[in-house]
Chain A
Amino acid sequence: MALLQIAEPGESAVPHEHKLAAGIDLGTTNSLVAAVRSGVAETLPDEEGRHLLPSVVRYTPEGVVVGEAARAAAAEDPHNTIASVKRLIGRGVEDLKTLGDRLPYEFVDTDSVVPRIKTVAGPVSAVEVSAEILKVLATRAEKTLGGPLTGVVITVPAYFDDAQRQATKDAAKLAGLHVFRLLNEPTAAAVAYGLDREAEGVHAVYDLGGGTFDVSILRLNKGVFEVMATGGDSALGGDDFDRAIAEWVMQQAGIGNEASPNLLRSLMDKARTAKEALAQRDAVEIEVALPDGRHWQGQLDRATMNRLIEPLIRKTISACRRTLRDAGVRPEEIEDVVMVGGSTRTLRVRELVGEFFATEPLVDIDPDKVVAIGAALQADVLAGNKPEDEMLLLDVIPLSLGIETMGGLVEKIIPRNTTIPVARAQEFTTFKDGQTAMAIHVVQGERELVADNRSLARFELRGIPPMVAGAARIRVTFSVDADGLLHVEAEELSQGVKASVEVKPSYGLTDEEIAGMLESSIEHAGEDMAARRLTEQRVEAARVVEALQSALAGDADELLDAAERRIVEQALQDLQQTAENATDSETIKRAIEQLEKSCEFYVERRMNSNIRKAMAGHKVDEFE
């Protein structure tokens, strides 16, 4: 039950009006967009009927190319064609040292902590590249659904830290999308199968893609989805199956290591085709044109392929075993195993996974689409299309948040697996007389030493009133919102001064950088910034007006006396007039703020009234 029903301007506030919303699976290799249409969640194809959009972006002097066309150009234009950008998002210049050798791109030296790739169109960050992919998917959804999206749900790997989540959200902002929620990929897959509707239990999500393997153990308890543990192998996937088959063909055909890159590529293609065919048939014919003009022809049966790929599948099973141990769960306690990723189509994978977990894996939903479908279901609920729906996914933070203390040690402030949103306060004091500033270093991870964890941000507290050492009491509140993103606030308690917090994200973009990118992208699109801002504020004003009107119609008699009601109605009228007549966005923005201030008491009262209603019907003596 949403507190207020919101309608876009021009639409009526009819409760069952369908709001357009989409779920986006922003993948390493491919991305998808899905939506609920006529009650069914399905992925949306492009004009040529393709559902998967290769996550490849090519920068040319003429413009940006995304998807299949970009992927096709990767070989001829490797420096300007960016693939697998997900491996870079939310990563800093320092991280590149560990990823660097495998990346074909040139990076630009900048003052920013965020690495930028050199392209013919100028330097680009991973956030901007991801935004290009998101834009294409959003446009596809808007064309298919026939209108602008009110919001989207974007999936992220469960192990993504704060910086990676923040960067993903920044990419959406840059693409002009309203993010309802970031959702963990395994949670989305479980939602697609409706596991959230079951009472409780422990589930596994087995995700084997082209180049990566992830396994997550989820516990569902009273509507709370908790990611208990995640594990996997970032360099193991279906491509390795193809390689094993290709090597077998080379052996059979007597092709040596001197084979040309072209021959190798063609062998990999044939191996993939054979692997896919063997999911339906018992044996396939393979034919290869040899360099000397001869043709080799042979047969690969399923048993032989299984023998070739089994050692690789066993590696994934070992990772499952380790992850279960981390979660403190035995394999037989797992109720369902959800299969995700194209490589789970291979029958032997299903068999061995089923054997290990002693349960038949769930494979009914296309493993390439299952994450996007789960995201679409959640987006539909969050858009308010199912007011009756009870679905509520509560997430936990995947990694502990802590701060650096003496000697480079970490003091944990919010332990991992704490249900979010959450806020924890910590008090600090000064150690020098007259000290007016203080630095705080926030890290994320489970290790004891700062150096072994991920640096998230450095905060500078300023404006502490000068006092003798130890007299100042600075309370710093760390809060994590429902998307798992960190916010910080600080206050000096003895004199009640709000210390200003200056955030320097260790790996993220600053607000100014984002604003700069937003402006330059709008310039490129030839839009007028001021006109766009004015429209945005008008929409927001209409949103606020609709919400308030529908609230008044619902419970004003119950919650407001006549005088209070006049205040609210007057404020409403003022905003409507301003929104209509104003010629700049600032005026409307101020009017909205004015209304929020004068109606704050009403909004608070409604929230509290709803809490009371939720608890009404329970009598205290019920428990005595």
Chain B
Amino acid sequence: MIDLSRNYFELFGLPVGYTLDPAALAGRYRELQRVVHPDRFASAPEQERRLALQRATLVNEAFETLRDPLRRAQYLLTLHGLDSTQETATTRDAEFLMEQMELREALASAAEAEDPGARLDELMRDIRKMIDAQVAQLAVLFEEATPESLEVAREAVSKMQFLNKLYNEAEAREAELEESL
């Protein structure tokens, strides 16, 4: 089902799958850049410099994709022929959506808390935990890789998008808070 001829995992010599060793990924990244980086072709003919630039760009893109848990999941879904990057992709999990609304309200009112910094920290820890839970679930789902589990994975990905957005918002509020001190 997966076209193995040219995917990022293969480029890095890694097995196609959601679980990967970050140290191995970073190590492979360095080895690849050592071969393709334009600096290695600083005095080569024009054509080779262009090719090196193209390859180095691809290696950077592949690394950024595989390194990030959300982008990695989206990429895997694409390899399985499913698109998850559309903004229309959404979740119908009512309980999850309710939880999101509550978190959003909590973020908005964090500024009025007795210790706004501590309150924000606490909320960010909670969001982080929820993201980690999605990551753990995705690992299992991609392992199974049945059409049903991939559909669930797609939903998990859109949940992760929600959570990431929420986390970024929390970070922005924290920065605001630090500025005002």
Given contact pairs A222-B27, A614-B31, A615-B31, A383 touches B60 in the complex (Cβ within 8 A): no
Q: Which of these, B15, B33, B56, contacts A624 with CB under 8 Å?
A: B15
Q: Within 8 Å CB of B20, what residues of A? A: 623
A-side interface residues, number (CB < 8 Å): 51
Given contact pairs A419-B60, A423-B57, A618 touches B28 in the complex (Cβ within 8 A): yes
Which residues of A, 405-430, contact B by the 8 Å Cβ criterion? 418-423
> Digit string of B39-74 for contact with A (CB within 8 Å is 1, else 0)?
111111111100111011100110110000000000
Q: Is B35 in contact with chain A by the CB < 8 A criterion?
A: yes
Stretch at the interface among A30-38, A158-166, A390-398: A390-398
Given contact pairs A421-B57, A607-B52, A623 touches B40 in the complex (Cβ within 8 A): no
Q: Verify A2–B40 contact, CB threshold 8 A.
A: yes
Q: Is A445 in contact with chain B by the CB < 8 A criterion?
A: no
- Between A150, A325, A481, A607, the greatest number of chain B beta carbons within 10 A of the residue's beta carbon is seen for A607
Q: Within 8 Å CB of B46, what residues of A? A: 540, 596
Q: Verify A620–B43 contact, CB threshold 8 A.
A: no
B-side interface residues, number (CB < 8 Å): 42
Q: Verify B47–A603 contact, CB threshold 8 A.
A: yes
Q: Verify A223–B30 contact, CB threshold 8 A.
A: yes
Q: Within 8 Å CB of B37, what residues of A? A: 392, 394, 482
Q: Within 8 Å CB of A394, what residues of B? A: 33, 37
Q: Is A611 in contact with chain B by the CB < 8 A criterion?
A: yes
- How distant is the Cα of A560 from the Cα of B37 in the complex, in angstroms? 25
Q: Is A382 in contact with chain B by the CB < 8 A criterion?
A: yes
Q: Within 8 Å CB of B52, what residues of A? A: 3, 607
- How distant is the Cα of A523 from the Cα of B85 in the complex, in angstroms? 56
Q: Verify A610–B35 contact, CB threshold 8 A.
A: yes
- Between B20, B29, B30, B41, the greatest number of chain A beta carbons within 10 A of the residue's beta carbon is seen for B41
Q: Is A29 in contact with chain B by the CB < 8 A criterion?
A: no
- How distant is the Cα of A534 from the Cα of B43 in the complex, in angstroms? 20
Q: Is B13 in contact with chain A by the CB < 8 A criterion?
A: yes
Which residues of A, 191-211, contact B by the 8 Å Cβ criterion? none
Closest Cβ of chain A to B5, distance in Å, is 12
Q: Within 8 Å CB of A363, what residues of B? A: none
Given contact pairs A222-B30, A615-B32, A482 touches B48 in the complex (Cβ within 8 A): no
- How distant is the Cα of A3 from the Cα of B35 in the complex, in angstroms? 8
- How distant is the Cα of A596 from the Cα of B45 in the complex, in angstroms? 10
Q: Which of these, A392, A596, A623, contacts B24 with CB under 8 Å?
A: A623
Q: Verify B43–A390 contact, CB threshold 8 A.
A: no
Q: Is A544 in contact with chain B by the CB < 8 A criterion?
A: yes
Closest Cβ of chain B to A271, distance in Å, is 39
Given contact pairs A4-B44, A543-B45, A615-B31, A620 touches B39 in the complex (Cβ within 8 A): no
Q: Which of these, A421, A547, A611, contacts B32 with CB under 8 Å?
A: A611
Q: Within 8 Å CB of A423, what residues of B? A: 57, 61
Q: Within 8 Å CB of A481, what residues of B? A: 38, 53
Q: Verify A151–B43 contact, CB threshold 8 A.
A: yes
Q: Which of these, A390, A540, A607, contacts B36 with CB under 8 Å?
A: A607
Closest Cβ of chain B to A176, distance in Å, is 16
Given contact pairs A222-B27, A392-B39, A611-B36, A547 touches B44 in the complex (Cβ within 8 A): yes
Q: Within 8 Å CB of A544, what residues of B? A: 45, 47
Q: Verify B34–A392 contact, CB threshold 8 A.
A: yes
- How distant is the Cα of A618 from the Cα of B25 in the complex, in angstroms? 12
- How distant is the Cα of A361 from the Cα of B85 in the complex, in angstroms? 48
Q: Within 8 Å CB of B13, what residues of A? A: 615, 618, 620
Given contact pairs A151-B43, A392-B39, A547-B44, A620 touches B15 in the complex (Cβ within 8 A): yes
Q: Verify A611–B47 contact, CB threshold 8 A.
A: no
Q: Verify B57–A422 contact, CB threshold 8 A.
A: yes
Closest Cβ of chain A to B25, distance in Å, is 10
Q: Verify A3–B34 contact, CB threshold 8 A.
A: no
Q: Within 8 Å CB of B41, what residues of A? A: 2-3
Q: Verify A623–B30 contact, CB threshold 8 A.
A: no
Q: Verify A540–B45 contact, CB threshold 8 A.
A: yes
The 8 A-B residue pairs with the shortest CB-CB distance in the complex, in nearest-first order: A615-B13, A382-B42, A180-B42, A482-B38, A618-B13, A421-B57, A544-B45, A596-B47
Residue pairs across A and B with Cβ atoms less than 8 A apart, 10 shown, are A3-B41, A3-B48, A3-B52, A6-B44, A382-B42, A540-B45, A596-B47, A611-B36, A623-B15, A624-B15
Residues of chain B whose beta carbon lies under 8 Å from any beta carbon of chain A: 11-15, 20-21, 24, 26-48, 51-53, 55-57, 60-61, 63-64, 178
Q: Can you name 13 extra interface pairs (CB under 8 A) apart from A150-B43, A603-B48, A614-B32?
A: A6-B45, A180-B42, A384-B43, A420-B60, A421-B60, A540-B46, A596-B46, A604-B51, A611-B11, A614-B35, A618-B28, A623-B14, A623-B24
